[in-house]
A and B are shown apart, each in its own frame.
Chain A
Amino acid sequence: MIRAVIMAKEYLGNLELMVLLSLMRVGDNAYGVPISQEIELRTGRDVALGSVYAALDRLERKGFVTSTLGDPTPERGGRAKRYFQITAKGVREVRDAQRMLTNMWKNLSVLQGEMV
């Protein structure tokens, strides 16, 4: 169990987890803009697009996401969109992280208002 928590910490950072969750929420046609907008909407945090892309790059290297290039569009100055999809390995990793974090949160008196 402890080893699994250490592994999760090593493999999935806070931003990476948020990006994966956001990617799952956006679904098809997920690229940088909707992913960062989803994070902003759900967390209230303004996330830089560069940080989102750096996290997506790391996730792709770990095999948690894949990406494909779309067609260039004029409103993007002739640049293509990079679409991201979560892999089965990525979904498993999110599920593991959820289970581990839920276990960590269970019966925490500080969070239940007993101790402040």
Chain B
Amino acid sequence: MTTPQPPRLATWVLERFCADPGLAGDLIEEYGRRRSALWYWKQAVMAVGAYSTSQIMEHKWLAARAIATGYVIWYVFNWTLLKGFVRPWLDPDTTLEKAAFLAVGYSIWMANGWTIAKLHRPYSTAMVFAYVIWSIVASVPPVYDVLVSTVTGSTDASALAQVLVMRTVTIMALMTGGALAAYRDQLKRRAQDWRQDSPRAFAAR
């Protein structure tokens, strides 16, 4: 009898953002009984939320440092590199230039997530999550402004949709950067464990 495979992306996200060695296995075991992809996704999202919140509450100063770090990186790269150097040089008028400008912008956001994760080990992804929460809170006033102007009719609905999409992609880029940094660390740790347990290392003991 083969074990049903749970959604791979959910497991990947879970293992990157919730580095508990037993949790993913427990969820897979439960998935074998309940067999609902929706249940699995719900559990994975709730686990990431509960784990990250617990880590943030436990290490409040580290979370504050992560937010400050992310803000400094955003300020330096967004204002000096992106808007001060890339925009005048690229002068995004055509669709291709605009796409290139956005790609550079989102790469910076991804690098931001990566840097926060690297500077806040072993709570890397929880600290990225802290910055993500901050970014969502900081997004409320500008999104509210666009929403009000859409409701009053001074801008059309496409402007609101654009702002929402751009903010969502920003959050995704941040989280992807954090998850990739955590993934690399996990791979390194596994390689280290393997080296420690390898026959050569065992013979040398």
Chain A residues proximal to chain B, CB less than 8 Å: 31-33, 48-51, 53-54, 57-58, 61, 67, 69, 72-77, 79-82
Contact = CB atoms under 8 A, between A and B. Distances in A.
Interface of B: 3, 6, 11, 18, 20-30, 32, 42-44, 46-51, 53-54, 58
B58 A49 contact: no
Given A49-B43, A69-B21, A54 B29 contact: no
A50 B21 contact: no
A53 B3 contact: no
B43 A50 contact: yes
A32 B22 contact: yes
Contact of A49 (B21, B30, B32, B54): B30
Given A50-B18, A57-B20, A74-B3, 6 more contacts: A31-B22, A49-B26, A49-B43, A54-B53, A75-B3, A79-B28
A76 B28 contact: yes
Contacts, number: 85
A73 B22 CA distance: 11
A41 B3 CA distance: 25
Nearest to A77: B28
A50 B3 contact: no
A2 B50 CA distance: 30
B50 A48 contact: yes
24 contacts: A31-B22, A31-B26, A32-B22, A32-B26, A33-B30, A48-B50, A50-B50, A50-B51, A51-B47, A53-B47, A53-B50, A53-B51, A54-B50, A67-B22, A75-B3, A77-B28, A79-B22, A79-B24, A79-B28, A80-B21, A80-B22, A80-B25, A81-B22, A82-B22
B35 to A, nearest CB: 13
A75 B32 contact: yes
Nearest to B48: A50
**Closest 3 pairs between A and B when the two form their complex, measured CB to CB:** A50-B47, A82-B22, A79-B25
Contact of B21 (A54, A61, A79): A79
Q: Which of A32, A73, A77 has the most chain B CB atoms closer than 10 A to its own CB?
A: A77
B25 A76 contact: yes
